[in-house]
Amino acid sequence: MTEQAGKAAAEWTSGHGFLLAALGAAVGLGNIWRFSYVAGENGGGAFIIAYLIAVLALGWPLLVAELAIGRSSRGDAVSAFARIAPARPWRWTGWIGLVAAVAILSYYPVIAGWVANYLWFYIQGTGSQSVGADHAARFQAAIADPVQALSWFFLVMALTIATVAAGVERGIERTCTVLMPVFILLLVLLAGYGLSLDGAGRAMAFLFTPDWNALMKPQTYLAAVGQAFFSIGLGMGVLVTYGSYVPSRQSLPRAALMLVIGDTIIALVAGLMIFPAVFTFGVNPAYGSALAFIALPEVFAAMPGGRWFAIAFFLLLSIAALTSAISLLEVPVAWVVARRGWGRGRAAFVVGSSILALGVPVALGHGILAPSGASEATLLDHVDRVSSDILLPLSAIGVALLVGWAWNAPTARSAAGLSTGRLGLLWHTSMRVAVPLAIGLVMSRGLGWI
């Protein structure tokens, strides 16, 4: 990405190509693994209401902001901020994003490793794949085993490093353009199957009937904001880079809206696939970060030809996870390349291996480094929470303040393609106080600070 960023001419070949590429970075484990477990923990329907508010009121305007910063500065994530606002305080925005990228990368490939492990399991076609088999126990045993946990994590990380080193991200994007629609089709199919299960009624009730108690809890809103930023891919400059390739004739507000709607629909469809199984097979919806991994084998076990669906599903999910991991590693690598003048290969290897070292305790956190109580949060849960509920919101506050204060209204509005009309005025004005304040409040209340 960075190589092309230097050349002003690099642009997406079509609006369609940009949308699918951005959707490729946005759609990942966040939509399947994270959305389902966070929704399950936060009361289902109440969480979904809070999530929709978070996506439309905060996700959409901030996505427009990140894309506008990228397109008008035509720079990578690090230099874009510096070009628009060279003054010191704004640098922190870039820094927080960088730290968040590294933190998320220390566990994202661990989860991707669980996906790859499942893929291998279904390819081999051995072991318990029948309905009612103890899928939870098998999964827990697999992630507790240090050899399995580490080797799958290393494999995913090695693939990520190799791809970033080669700088073939655009090749990956092209692959994305083909595979994304296949993945979505498969999801819809599996959700349709999920809805035929006995527990579908209870799943629908859980997902779409708000629990008023949960709606009153500040934690529900913090979880929703954190999940919205994670899933859209906000808060670390990935979309700044993507925005830098958007042709000036394309409408950013419309593209951003289609992206957030697409990303949300995919998460909801994934919910329709996972929760019927959760209720049919008596899994606790608040099971935690392993929820999707316990519920999905039940779906595949129950459906005719489930093994083949499982292979296709986990293969596509591995690819979706890989494209997201690549976009995350690109942030610190681009920074090192720009700062130190290193080659991409060296930067990817050094940065990637350092992150790999950080991820080792995370990968071992479900076995030899597991917390003493079975229901206690693991290291992975902690890093996941801190990055999404603190770092991403902080960085989003920085982006909003930068657009609101470092950029004057006419410049910002024209960069966003919102020069005329009330929406543009609302967008820029809200960046000054309303958006940062809302994020700050949700965060402080959710964490119990105020």
* Interacting residue ranges for ligand TRP, rule: CB under 6 A: 25-26, 28-31, 104, 230-231, 233, 235-236, 238, 324, 327-328
Q: How far is the CB of 320 from ligand TRP (least distance, A)?
A: 7
Cβ–Cβ < 8 Å for 233, 387: no
Best CA proximity match to 392, nearest among 224, 218, 254, 244 = 224
**Rg, Å, the chain Cα set:** 21
CA distance 68 to 403: 9
Q: And the tokens for 155?
A: 């494999």
CB of residue 419 to ligand TRP, shortest distance in Å? 28
Cβ at position 130, least distance to ligand TRP in Å: 31
CB of 340 to ligand TRP, least distance (A): 23
Residue 44 dihedral angles phi and psi, to the nearest 5°: 65, -100
Nearer to ligand TRP, 182 or 423 (CB): 182
Minimal distance, residue 305 CB to ligand TRP, in Å: 28
Region class of 132: left (phi > 0), else alpha (psi between -120 and 50), else beta: left
Instruction: Give whichever of 70 and 233 is closer to ligand TRP, judged by the CB atom.
Output: 233
Burial class (CB in 10 A: 0-12, 13-18, 19+), 23: buried
Tokens of 85: 């606002």
Distances (CA, A) of 406 to 96, 99, 239, 414, 442: 18, 23, 19, 15, 24
Cβ(246)–Cβ(8) below 8 Å:
no
Q: Which is nearer to ligand TRP, 30 or 436 (CB)?
A: 30
Q: What is the smallest separation between the CB atom of 409 and ligand TRP, expressed in angstroms?
A: 27
- Long-range CB pairs of 354-357 (<8 Å, 24+ gap) are 355/102, 355/105, 355/106, 355/157, 355/329, 356/153, 356/154, 356/157, 356/161
Output 25 or 98, the one with its CB closest to ligand TRP: 25
Which one, 236 or 394, has the nearer CB to ligand TRP? 236
Structure tokens at 92: 């922190």
Rounded to 10°, the helix 306-340/15-26 angle is 100
Task: Return the number of the residue (279 or 293) whose C-beta is nearest ligand TRP.
Answer: 293
Nearer to ligand TRP, 200 or 334 (CB): 334
DSSP E strands in 130-226: the ranges are none
Smallest separation (angstroms) from ligand TRP to the CB of 274: 15
Smallest gap from residue 30 Cβ to ligand TRP (A): 2
Closest contact distance (angstroms) between CB of 216 and ligand TRP is: 28
The residue sitting closest to ligand TRP, measured at its beta carbon, is 30
Running DSSP on this structure, what letter comes out for residue 390? I
Residues in the chain: 450
Q: With respect to ligand TRP, which residue has the nearer C-beta, 140 or 395?
A: 395
Nearest residue (CB) to ligand TRP, 100 versus 442: 100
Picking from 53, 78, 97, 85, the residue whose alpha carbon sits closest to that of residue 1 is 78
Per-residue CA distances from 73 to 15, 68, 240, 399, 401 (Å): 19, 8, 9, 14, 17
User: How far apart are CB 355 and ligand TRP at their closest, in Å?
Assistant: 14
Q: Which is nearer to ligand TRP, 136 or 236 (CB)?
A: 236
